[in-house]
């Protein structure tokens, strides 16, 4: 039963017929497949958004689920399409590194196969929609029990996406905003574990020291307060209680963030 679950993650939005066409192709080949939408709101062609999303969502799924990811600026070029196994998770992805952040954090890469066997594809493959013409039918075939090794040859090289790493500095960390959620919360790449209540916070080039409270959860401070806390995925998060930190701090993906503590940093920023 679980092996017939297929999830979809795309940057298609929902006004267009693209997601629907993929669902049709999957159900045409395996009417018993259970399709689960993860998101169709990845920012257009934004591989870092896709990478963060997959690293934060896929680990919660059981093995055998097939995750189809279509964030694919290189569609139709000679970039490959891949079947990958990361730990116990199975994904079908363009070879653009969208899945390597997941692999960094959540298990070894067990198998990578380049999709090559066209008999598992739609008979006609367009130059601009491999989600519908290759990944959807391959997912349907996998969900019916096709062995991944039938899909094409194993490969041992693939594109990696450079995920920005935070830097440990004297009495603090320098990093950046990895993701802004729909509440406007800023999820950074700075690990929250071991962060003692810092007394310095700089977002962009604006020091918020003294105006930001370190809390355990949003409800620990009154509405409108700027707070720093551990995100649900273990990173430093900057939020405005029942408001939008992205708006208040004019911050976005990639905005630099610095936290520190100790007197020698107190004038920093």
Minimum distance from residue 159 beta carbon to its own copies (Å): 13
The answer to whether residues 53 and 39 touch, using CB atoms and an 8 Å cutoff, is yes
Using CB under 8 A as the binding rule, the residues of this chain from 167 to 186 that contact its own copies are 179, 181-183
Minimum distance from residue 83 beta carbon to its own copies (Å): 20
Using CB under 8 A as the binding rule, the residues of this chain from 48 to 107 that contact its own copies are 49, 52-54, 56-62, 64-65, 73-77, 79
Quote the CA–CA distance of 194 and 94 in Å, as a whole number.
Answer: 36
The answer to whether residues 63 and 91 touch, using CB atoms and an 8 Å cutoff, is no
Minimum distance from residue 14 beta carbon to its own copies (Å): 4
Pairing of strands 186-191, 172-180: antiparallel
Using CB under 8 A as the binding rule, the residues of this chain from 129 to 158 that contact its own copies are 129, 132-133
Minimum distance from residue 184 beta carbon to its own copies (Å): 8
The answer to whether residues 185 and 245 touch, using CB atoms and an 8 Å cutoff, is yes
40 binds its own copies per the rule CB under 8 A: yes
Query: How far, rounded to the nearest angstrom, does the alpha carbon of residue 267 sit from its chain's CA centroid?
Result: 35
Quote the CA–CA distance of 2 and 233 in Å, as a whole number.
Answer: 25
DSSP 147-168: -GGGSS-B-S------PPPPEE
Nearer to its own copies by Cβ, of 15 and 263: the residue is 15
197 binds its own copies per the rule CB under 8 A: no
Nearer to its own copies by Cβ, of 74 and 256: the residue is 74
Q: Give, in order, the Cα–Cα distances in Å from 71 to each of 42, 80, 139, 196.
A: 8, 13, 16, 37
Give the sign of the dihedral formed by CA 252, CA 158, CA 151, CA 105. Answer: negative
7 binds its own copies per the rule CB under 8 A: yes
127 binds its own copies per the rule CB under 8 A: yes
The answer to whether residues 239 and 254 touch, using CB atoms and an 8 Å cutoff, is no
Using CB under 8 A as the binding rule, the residues of this chain from 105 to 124 that contact its own copies are none
220 binds its own copies per the rule CB under 8 A: yes
24 binds its own copies per the rule CB under 8 A: yes
Q: Which stretch binds its own copies (CB under 8 A): 13-21, 113-121, 141-149, 158-166?
A: 13-21
Minimum distance from residue 215 beta carbon to its own copies (Å): 9
252 binds its own copies per the rule CB under 8 A: no
**Site for its own copies (CB under 8 A): how many residues?**
77
């Amino acid at each position: 039963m679980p092996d017939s679950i297929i999830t979809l993650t795309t940057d298609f939005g929902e006004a267009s017929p693209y997601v629907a066409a993929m669902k049709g192709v999957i159900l045409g080949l395996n009417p018993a497949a259970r399709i689960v939408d993860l998101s169709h709101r990845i920012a257009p062609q934004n591989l870092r958004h896709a990478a963060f999303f997959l690293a934060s969502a896929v680990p919660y799924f059981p093995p055998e689920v097939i995750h189809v990811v279509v964030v694919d600026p290189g569609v139709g070029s000679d970039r490959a399409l891949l079947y990958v196994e990361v730990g116990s998770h199975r994904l079908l992805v363009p070879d653009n590194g969208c899945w390597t952040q997941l692999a960094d954090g959540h298990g070894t890469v067990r198998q990578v196969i380049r999709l090559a066997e066209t008999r598992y594809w739609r008979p006609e493959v367009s130059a601009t929609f491999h989600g519908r013409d290759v990944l959807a039918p391959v997912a349907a075939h996998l969900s019916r029990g096709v062995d991944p090794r039938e899909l094409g040859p194993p490969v041992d090289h693939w594109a990696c996406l450079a995920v920005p790493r935070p830097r440990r500095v004297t009495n603090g960390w320098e990093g950046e905003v990895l993701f802004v959620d729909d509440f406007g919360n800023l999820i950074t790449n700075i690990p929250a574990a071991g962060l003692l209540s810092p007394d310095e916070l700089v977002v962009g080039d604006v020091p918020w020291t003294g105006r930001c409270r370190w809390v355990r959860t949003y409800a620990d401070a009154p509405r409108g307060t700027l707070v720093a806390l551990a995100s649900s995925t273990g990173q430093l998060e900057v939020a405005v209680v029942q408001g939008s930190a992205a708006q208040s701090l004019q911050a976005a993906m990639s905005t630099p963030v610095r936290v520190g503590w100790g007197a020698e940093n107190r004038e920093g920023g």
